[in-house]
């Protein structure tokens, strides 16, 4: 067996890295900062993508595909956007290689220099709004509700599988509207879609909020976000939805004739989630033995192991049961590998996060029972064979609910309300988690708190009630608490 997984209590960060590699979610690649998404990790992403894609289509969106490359000059068109994205990115400068004269392989052909450099898209607002200029003429062309599934590249200095990689997979919605109100409603609707997906499918509770001005997306008037809490008490931004105002419409001159024949600038939103969600899922539920995957997203829901593998009576029961489970839409495998022992197989399925494991031994066949183990609590039950299908169906639902319940309890236990800066620091250092505290609303105080504690304002929660108070750092008046945390 390969290197064991570092326990969370020893080093949470190492635990995560070990788990991602050992479980077969991803692998490191020969290209700096880029990972390989292995079949298990990709199947998980495919399941996430399928659910999200359905949710996007149900809310009226269609998919399209825009070029990977963005002309360099496009990035400078929107003043804030250039500050945010014209930094660490992959720049294409040439379009040809040639054989080296010394026979040492290939070299870049200096004669094939591009007139204007191309940037590998870090996000697609600029190329899309350049296009929308041609697509939008009249109010009848609005709203334009487009989503794109794509790869993007941001040249990150410090990378970790799924959480922060130079290349990642994501979706980016880019919508155009006739009014400010409609665009804001769209940005909020998509935040709701993300929050519902996180809770109902990932079993990951999230706090919905808006970012402070200094944490906004480059070019946005308002950035909505969902924030999740990982097991080590650090926050993770799981999705963002931006109200872009008329910034991109003005930068790319996108106007429409309204119903009164007046020319107006278009209002915009953009919103995205990425393969980062795979990392969030891992860090929300998994344990020292491996992945714990919610049944609604798990690529494989049930694994059946016969003991010993080769005995025909056990195998007959296993095959029959598998067929019955498949018939009601449950994904299941019967393990037929004769070269490995049951104990080894159990550990492998635990490592890979399969929600339910069924074992069938000689005595089970005699007693007409099966042994059913759940991954989340490790509990086992011996169940009459005739009741097995219903038991598994119910158990998958119960695991899905239990994961959400457990994660909600964790967030509740690790969300602290503090009144003073001293308390703030002590909670962060001793317990971590979300910290609700008053803030005076200035960028200076926000920066100073970050400098002193490494904690950032994750969001101004949308469901927080206004409450008078005093800023923990400056003592100045504050009208509501904001959510602080150290974050990924």
**Residues of the shown chain interacting with its own copies in the complex, contacts defined by CB under 8 A:** 27, 29-31, 34-39, 42-43, 46, 62-76, 82, 86-99, 105-106, 108, 117-120, 127, 130-131, 134, 140, 146, 150-151, 153, 155, 167, 169, 339
Q: Beta strands 369-374 and 380-384: pairing type?
A: antiparallel
Q: Are 277 and 330 in contact (CB under 8 A)?
A: no
Q: Identify any residues that bridge with 382 across adjacent strands, giving them in sequence order.
A: 371
End-to-end CA distance of the chain: 31
Of 356, 193, 353, 215, nearest in space to 283 by CA: 353
Q: To the nearest whole angstrom, how small is the minimum distance from the Cβ of residue 402 to its own copies?
A: 29
Our CB check for its own copies shows the closer of 72 and 450 to be: 72
Q: Are 226 and 206 in contact (CB under 8 A)?
A: yes
User: Read out DSSP for 238-252?
Assistant: EEEEEEEETHHHHHT
Q: To the nearest whole angstrom, how small is the minimum distance from the Cβ of residue 375 to its own copies?
A: 21
Distance CA 355, CA 293 (A): 6
Our CB check for its own copies shows the closer of 97 and 443 to be: 97
Q: To the nearest whole angstrom, how small is the minimum distance from the Cβ of residue 167 to its own copies?
A: 5
Distance CA 44, CA 38 (A): 10
Distance CA 338, CA 382 (A): 24
Our CB check for its own copies shows the closer of 273 and 449 to be: 273
C-beta atoms surrounding 368 within 10 Å: 10
Q: Identify any residues that bridge with 332 across adjacent strands, giving them in sequence order.
A: 302
Q: To the nearest whole angstrom, how small is the minimum distance from the Cβ of residue 316 to its own copies?
A: 24
Our CB check for its own copies shows the closer of 176 and 399 to be: 176
Q: To the nearest whole angstrom, how small is the minimum distance from the Cβ of residue 119 to its own copies?
A: 7
Our CB check for its own copies shows the closer of 94 and 362 to be: 94
Q: To the nearest whole angstrom, how small is the minimum distance from the Cβ of residue 199 to its own copies?
A: 27
Our CB check for its own copies shows the closer of 62 and 452 to be: 62
Vertex 458: Cα angle to 455 and 460 (nearest 5): 125
């Amino acid at each position: 067996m390969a290197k064991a997984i570092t326990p969370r209590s020893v080093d949470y960060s190492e635990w995560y890295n070990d788990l991602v590699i050992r479980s077969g979610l991803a692998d490191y690649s020969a290209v700096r900062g880029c990972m390989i998404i292995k079949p298990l990790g990709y199947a998980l992403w495919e399941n996430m993508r399928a659910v999200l894609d359905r949710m996007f289509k149900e809310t009226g969106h269609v998919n399209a595909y825009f070029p990977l490359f963005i002309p360099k000059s496009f990035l400078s068109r929107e003043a804030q956007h250039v500050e945010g994205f014209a930094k660490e990115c992959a720049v294409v400068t040439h379009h040809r290689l040639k054989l080296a004269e010394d026979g040492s392989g290939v070299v870049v052909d200096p004669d094939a220099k591009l007139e204007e450099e191309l940037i590998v898209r870090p996000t697609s607002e600029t190329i899309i709004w350049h296009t929308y200029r041609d697509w939008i003429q009249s109010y009848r062309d609005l709203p334009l509700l487009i989503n794109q599934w794509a790869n993007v590249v941001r040249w990150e200095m410090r990378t970790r599988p799924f959480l922060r990689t130079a290349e990642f997979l994501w979706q980016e919605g880019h919508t155009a509207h006739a009014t400010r109100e409609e665009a804001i409603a769209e940005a909020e609707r998509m935040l709701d879609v993300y929050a519902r997906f996180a809770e109902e499918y990932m079993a990951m509770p999230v706090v919905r909020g808006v970012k402070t001005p200094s944490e906004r997306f480059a070019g946005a008037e308002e950035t909505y976000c969902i924030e999740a809490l990982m097991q080590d008490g650090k926050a993770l931004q799981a999705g963002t939805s931006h109200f872009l105002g008329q910034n991109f419409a003005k930068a790319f001159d996108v106007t429409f004739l309204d119903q009164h024949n007046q020319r107006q600038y278009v209002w915009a939103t953009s919103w995205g989630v990425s393969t980062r969600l795979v990392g969030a899922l891992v860090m929300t539920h998994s344990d020292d033995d491996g992945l714990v995957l919610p049944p609604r997203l798990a690529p494989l829901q049930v694994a059946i192991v016969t003991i010993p593998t080769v005995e025909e009576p056990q195998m007959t029961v296993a095959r029959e049961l598998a067929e019955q489970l498949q018939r009601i839409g449950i994904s299941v495998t019967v393990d037929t590998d004769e070269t490995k022992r049951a104990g080894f197989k159990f550990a492998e399925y635990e490592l890979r996060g399969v929600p339910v494991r069924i074992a069938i031994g000689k005595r089970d066949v005699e007693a007409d029972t099966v042994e059913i183990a759940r991954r989340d609590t490790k509990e086992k039950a011996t169940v009459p064979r005739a009741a097995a299908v219903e038991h598994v169906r119910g158990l998958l639902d119960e695991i899905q609910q239990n994961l959400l319940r457990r994660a909600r309890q964790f967030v509740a236990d690790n969300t602290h309300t503090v009144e003073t800066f001293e308390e703030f620091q002590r909670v962060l250092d001793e317990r971590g988690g979300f910290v609700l505290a008053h803030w005076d609303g200035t960028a200076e105080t926000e920066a100073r708190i970050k400098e002193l504690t490494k904690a950032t304002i994750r969001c101004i929660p949308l469901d927080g009630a206004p409450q008078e108070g005093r800023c923990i750092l400056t003592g100045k008046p504050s009208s509501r608490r904001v959510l602080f945390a150290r974050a990924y």
